[in-house]
């Protein structure tokens, strides 16, 4: 199912845009996230769904009922939720993190 990519807030979108102009490894991260967005636009459900019982309390403020992860290279993770808009499905990006932060957030 096709989807439209949205960021959970303007702050996250600004962080993403700053990655583009980075001279460090963040530039690579930007490219990986763009590739993930392309995949999500084609199929919002191409990531791995996280069981509801494992959704961290940090995400409860968004009142979401589903959570997904998309595996990026070098063990980075893109965390998103899928919502239905009036006309299309939305993939709402919540954050991205390295594997260590991902394990801490999800208590693995």
How confident is the model at residue 86, as a pLDDT?
A: 61
Give per-residue pLDDT as tens, 11-57: 999 999 999 988 888 899 999 999 999 999 999 999 999 999 999 99
Using the predicted structure, report yes or no on whether residue 91 has a pLDDT greater than 80: yes
Query: What are the sequence ranges of the domains in the chain?
Result: 3-105
Please, where are the H alpha helices in 9-106? 10-20, 26-42, 99-105
Q: The domain 3-105 belongs to what CATH superfamily?
A: RelE-like (3.30.2310.20)
Q: How far apart are CA 90 and CA 3, in angstroms?
A: 5
Give the other-Cβ count within 10 Å of 43's Cβ.
Answer: 13
Phi, psi at 81, each rounded to 5°: -125, 160
Dihedral angle, C-alpha 74, 30, 88, 9, nearest 10 °: 110
**12 or 108: whose pLDDT is higher?**
12
């Amino acid at each position: 199912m096709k989807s439209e990519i949205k960021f959970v807030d303007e702050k996250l979108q600004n962080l993403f845009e700053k990655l583009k102009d980075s001279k460090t490894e963040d530039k690579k991260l930007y490219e990986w996230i763009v590739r993930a967005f392309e995949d999500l636009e084609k199929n919002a459900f191409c990531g791995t769904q996280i069981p509801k019982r494992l959704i961290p309390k940090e995400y409860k403020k968004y009142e979401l009922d589903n959570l997904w992860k998309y595996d990026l290279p070098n063990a980075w993770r893109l965390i998103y939720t899928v919502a239905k808009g009036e006309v299309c499905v939305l993939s709402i990006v919540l954050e991205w993190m390295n594997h260590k932060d991902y394990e801490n957030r999800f208590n693995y």
